């Protein structure tokens, strides 16, 4: 029983990291209808920037601040050079643009900062904790805690500040938002910057877990099943989806894996997502799209 709980909770905690990544997607998708394939590369870039600065001796807080600055500048550039020229184009076109963007960011990241694996030490020891006989990872708990804090901050941002309300207006009905004078370009810049920062947090946590390396950018591919299960437009959905994916992946690997040769983690989440697609296409919390002829 303890083992089952361990697996479950371990999966849930891992799932919070998935949720973190997924939240970045949801933000951008909600505000601009774009599925940002480059989120993973942004994650990688953020983590690499921070690590490079830190390795050069820049103190933790300053490095963090500088990295945030870099992500903000990046968001501005992306909005100006990629999003604005492609406004009103189809979702698939925008997605492909983010695919191209991911290549650019990755090329830059590895070109400027090298492609070796970098260890990232956030000062959190990964010691096992024993709670009621169940073994948990301290790191995972802290990561989950960070995710919770982030979500709370975002919730406050969206509900209490004027920017946040404008963002929700844009997500709800872009044309109406435009007609009351909301500056769409500004909103997109902000959203992408925020997503960049979320990516930074996620990148740091992931990086601390498995080292900052190129495969970090493939984390984006894991976010897709999360978004399908939770819905593309809901942060709550991203959280729930991440937890579901994390938990079921872990459980499946442990309990079903040995039956078919193991290593099912790469694709199990997708099969799960597919099943969800059949039952509930819009995701648990998503909005259904209606088409008119």
Partner 1 sequence: MSVPVMSETAPWVLIERRLPWPLLGLLVLAFGVVPLVGNDYWLSAILIPFLVLSLAGLGLNLLTGYTGQTSVGAAGFMAVGAFATYGFLLRLPEVGLPLALLGGGIISGLVGLLFGLPSSRIKGFYLMVTTLAAQFFLEWLFVKFPWFYNYGSSGTISAPNLSLLGYDLNTPVGRYLLTLVTVLLLTWVARNLVNSQTGRNWMAIRDMDTAAAVIGIPVARYKRLAFAVSSFYLGIAGALWAFAYLGTASAGSFDINRSFQILFIIIIGGMGSIAGNFVGAAFICLLPILLSHLGQALLGGAVDAGQLQNLQKIIFGVLIILFLIKEPEGLIRLLSNTRERLRHWPLRF
- Between helix 235-251 and helix 219-230 the angle, nearest 10°, is 110
How many residues sit in the footprint of partner 1 (CB under 8 A)?
Answer: 47
Is 270 a binder of partner 1 (CB under 8 A)?
yes
Structural contact between residues 241 and 230, judged by C-beta atoms closer than 8 angstroms = yes
Binding residue for partner 1 (CB under 8 A) from 6, 79, 106, 140?
106
Kindly tell me which of 91 and 161 has the beta carbon lying closer to partner 1. Answer: 91
Is 259 a binder of partner 1 (CB under 8 A)?
no
Window of 11-19, 45-53, 105-113, 148-156 that interacts with partner 1 by CB under 8 A: 105-113
Window of 58-66, 69-77, 100-108, 171-179 that interacts with partner 1 by CB under 8 A: 100-108
Give the 3-state secondary structure of residue 272: helix
Give min distance, CB of 268 to partner 1, in A. 9
- The C-alpha atoms of residue 168 and residue 165 are separated, in whole angstroms, by 5
Give min distance, CB of 293 to partner 1, in A. 5
Is 77 a binder of partner 1 (CB under 8 A)?
no
Window of 108-116, 123-131, 169-177, 203-211 that interacts with partner 1 by CB under 8 A: 108-116
Is 110 a binder of partner 1 (CB under 8 A)?
yes
Own/partner pairs, 5-8, CB within 8 angstroms, 24+ separation: 5/134, 6/134, 6/135, 6/136, 7/250, 7/251, 7/254, 7/255, 8/247, 8/250, 8/251
Structure tokens at 42: 């942004």
Phi, psi of 134 (to 5 degrees): -105, 130
DSSP state at residue 83:
I
Binding residue for partner 1 (CB under 8 A) from 58, 135, 264, 284?
264
Is 93 a binder of partner 1 (CB under 8 A)?
yes
- The C-alpha atoms of residue 167 and residue 178 are separated, in whole angstroms, by 11
Structural contact between residues 229 and 249, judged by C-beta atoms closer than 8 angstroms = no
Give the 3-state secondary structure of residue 35: coil
**Contacting residues toward partner 1, per CB under 8 A:** 35, 81-82, 85-86, 89, 91-93, 95-97, 99-108, 110-111, 115, 218, 221, 224-225, 228, 232, 261-264, 266-267, 270-271, 273-274, 277-278, 281, 291-293
């Amino acid at each position: 029983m303890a083992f089952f709980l361990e697996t479950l909770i371990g999966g849930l905690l891992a799932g919070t990291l998935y949720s973190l990544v997924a939240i970045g997607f949801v933000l951008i998708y909600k505000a601009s209808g774009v599925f940002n394939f480059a989120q993973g590369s942004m994650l990688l870039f953020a983590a690499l920037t921070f690590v490079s600065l830190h390795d050069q001796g820049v103190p933790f807080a300053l490095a963090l601040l500088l990295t945030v600055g870099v992500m903000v500048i990046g968001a501005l550039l992306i909005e100006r050079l990629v999003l604005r020229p492609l406004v009103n184009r189809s979702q698939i076109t925008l997605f492909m643009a983010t695919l191209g963007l991911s290549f650019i960011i990755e090329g830059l990241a590895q070109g400027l900062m090298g492609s070796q694996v970098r260890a990232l030490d956030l000062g959190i020891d990964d010691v096992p904790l024993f709670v009621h006989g169940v073994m948990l990872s301290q790191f995972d708990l802290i990561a989950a805690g960070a995710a919770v804090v982030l979500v709370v901050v975002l919730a406050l941002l969206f509900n209490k500040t004027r920017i946040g309300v404008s963002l929700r207006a844009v997500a709800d009905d872009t044309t109406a938002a435009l007609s009351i004078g909301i500056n769409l370009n500004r909103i997109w810049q902000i959203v992408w910057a925020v997503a960049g920062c979320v990516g930074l947090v996620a990148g740091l946590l992931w990086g601390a877990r498995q080292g900052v390396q190129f495969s970090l950018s493939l984390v984006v591919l894991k976010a897709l099943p999360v978004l399908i299960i939770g819905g593309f437009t809901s942060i709550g959905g991203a959280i729930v989806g991440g937890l579901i994916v994390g938990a079921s992946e872990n459980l499946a690997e442990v309990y079903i894996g040995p039956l078919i040769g193991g290593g099912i983690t790469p694709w199990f989440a997708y099969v799960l997502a597919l099943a969800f697609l059949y039952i509930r296409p819009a995701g648990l919390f998503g909005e259904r799209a209606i088409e008119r002829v």
